[in-house]
Structure 1
Amino acid sequence: MFIRMESIKIFDIKIDLISSKEINEEILNLCRKNKKEVIANVNINAMNISFENKKMKSFLNNAYINFIDGDGVNLGAKLLGLKTGPKVTYDWWIWELAEFCQRNKLSWYILGAKEESVSIAFERLNKAFPDLEIKGYHNGYFNKLNNGNEKVVDEINRLKPNILLMAMGMPAQEEWLLANMDKLNINVALTGGAVVDYISGEFKSTPDIFRKLKLEWFYRFLQRPKYLLRRYFIGNPLFIYRILVEKFQSKKEKPSVEKVLESI
């Protein structure tokens, strides 16, 4: 039986208020019924890309589940007077999911990241979850417009994994699925961004103190300052600005400085 999910909309994008355990059960249901769906992670970066990228927005609105991957989405919901939901981030959920899939005999294929990182991730998963069937993996650095892409698709279809774990980053992984999902013989595609780098240990999981302070983003920034500088220190304020504009436009009011400050 499928779970009836509660959802909200931000910037006309569906966001599901769903926990990690509920996502796990939905994945199992989809695999048992031999369905084919996308389960996507939504964070501030995804929202900002979708605001300007129609393909990304369409991808998310056609996904079976869009789960909350970051405190920023919940902050946006709160500012708009919407319900907030559970936060599910890959740095801890991937281990829970691996144990769940091992127990329920659901197979994986991993696609993305650098060759060294994905091979180390494969080895670490095999060691931690010896009965988890990882049917194969491939790095994310291949030509996606010629026979290199066909070879990857053919390999996935030959191996027939239940779950395709994508780790190409946004919006590359979403664009690849838009172009190839119809060709794939899988049950569930998961967009995971940097998930492989967390599994391999290249990126460290966020310490509890940063989680409690809702500063996971800052801990990630400390690990990759050059890569994340623009995303966090321009992207995060831009998201909040857009949220406040939407809030006041919906009330048909022009936002004054005082009203904006009162809403923060």
Structure 2
Amino acid sequence: MRKVNFFGINVENTTLEDISKDLENALLNKKKTTVFTPNTEIVMMAKKDESLIKLINSAVHVIPDGIGLIYGAKLKNIELKERVTGYDTSIKLLEIANKHGLGLYLLGGKAGVSKDAFENILKKYPNIRLCGYHHGYFSGSHTGNDNSLEEQEVIEDINRSKPDIIFVGFGFPKQEIWIDKNKDKINATVLIGNGGVIDVLSGRVNRAPDIFIKLNLEWFYRLIKNPSRIKRQIYLPMFLIKVIFDKNAINELN
């Protein structure tokens, strides 16, 4: 798989279809797989921190979740096939799980959010074996408390339920840290750090309308709905400016 390096982060030059096939194959063959989903904000946060770059690159799949990555690559005459979002990848995982009767565990969100998501998933994907859920507000690796009693209890609950897929929604970099620290302790095949996907699945947060998504303006919709996000959205123009003036910002890898 060819990759594109963004300030040290190696992002797969792939499509949603290809990633879905890889994940289905991994699930059917019980091949432990981790998925991280960096966007421009994450790239900008990580680019000066070697430990975060190493953390992101440790995943089996690092997919381009952010239209800014597509635009940035174009500025360097590199064709990144398409934006592959954590949300769309998660939905594909739900479809795969429903198709094969696989197990899913939801980890993240505030109290009650994962429970609501759990119930909504069951309505739409009745063939999924829903193994369990837990909120993200516990002491653990993601809060700097490795091997805490709470974390051990969460891991024991996950392993008892024997899921095939785990959605970890703590936000960056907590979800990536938690997955990296605990993936070998967990008896599951695919672990994906997917930010606010559990919130959307719960029905408490709405995703942008299709027209905004098709026009790659999902970021703009979120800004309209929540103007306080301007501090986060500023990462996109900052990223593009850095790309323009840094000849080594983006490189295509074989």
TM-score, length basis structure 2: 0.89
1:27-65 Cα distance to aligned partner (Å, 9 max, x none): 122122222121111211221122133232112212111
Q: Contact 1:8 / 1:83 at 8 angstroms: preserved in 2?
A: no
Find the aligned partners of 1:39 and 1:249 in 2 and give their Cα distance.
23
Of 50, 71, 75, the residue aligned with 2:67 is 71
Amino acid corresponding to residue 151 of structure 1 in structure 2: E
Higher helix share goes to which structure? 1
Q: What corresponds to 2:244 in structure 1?
A: 244
What is the CA-CA distance between 1:69 and the residue it aligns to? 1.1
In structure 1, distance between residues paired with 2:46 and 2:59: 13
Which residue matches 1:254? none
User: Superposed, which structure 2 residues align to 1:196-211 within 5 Å?
Assistant: 196-211=198-213
Cα offset for 1:97? Answer: 2.9
Pairing of 1:27-66 with structure 2 (within 5 A): 27-66=23-62
Which of residues 162, 165, 168 in structure 2 aligns to 1:163? 165
Give distance in 1, aligned partners of 2:91 and 2:170: 19
- 1:180 matched residue in structure 2: 182
Stretches of structure 2 that go unaligned for 5 or more consecutive residues are none
Partner amino acid for 2:156? D
SS in 1 for 2:172: coil
Match of 1:213 in 2: 215
Deviations 1:79-128 (A, max 9, x none): 12212122222444433431222102222111111122211111100111
State the alpha-carbon separation in 2 of the partners of residues 36 and 151 from structure 1: 22
Q: Which amino acid aligns with 1:202?
A: R
2:87·2:194 contact (CA, 8 Å) conserved in 1? no
Whole-Å Cα distance in 1 between the matches of residues 91 and 56 of structure 2?
24
**Higher RCO (CA-CA < 8 Å; seq separation 6+):** 2
- Single out whichever of 163-172 and 237-246 deviates more from structure 2: 237-246
Q: Is the 8 A contact 1:166 1:193 kept in 2?
A: yes
Q: Which has the larger radius of gyration?
A: 1
| Counterpart for residue 194 of structure 2 | 192
In structure 2, the CA distance between the partners of 1:90 and 1:37, relative to structure 1 (3 Å rule), is closer
Stretches of structure 1 that go unaligned for 5 or more consecutive residues are 251-264
Q: CA deviation at 1:205?
A: 2.0
SS where residue 112 of structure 2 aligns?
Answer: helix
Contact 2:8 2:47 in 1 (8 A): no
What is the 5 A alignment of 1:42-121? 42-121=38-117
What one-letter code is carried by the residue in structure 2 that aligns with 1:237?
A: P
Q: Distance in 2 between matches of 1:107 and 1:224?
A: 34
- Greater Cα shift, 173-182 or 141-150: 173-182
Q: Is the CA contact 2:15–2:82 (under 8 Å) kept in the aligned structure 1?
A: yes
**AA in 1 matched with 2:238:** L
TM (norm. structure 1) is: 0.86
Shift of 1:184: 1.5
CA distance in 2, matches of 1:34, 1:94: 18
> Kindly tell me: are residues 87 and 195 of structure 1, through their superposed partners in 2, closer, same or farther at Cα, counting changes over 3 Å?
same
Identity over aligned pairs, percent: 31
Determine helix, strand or coil for the equivalent of 2:131.
strand
Structure 1 window deviating more from structure 2 (11-20 vs 163-172): it is 11-20
Distance change (3 Å), C-alpha of 1:53 and 1:182: farther
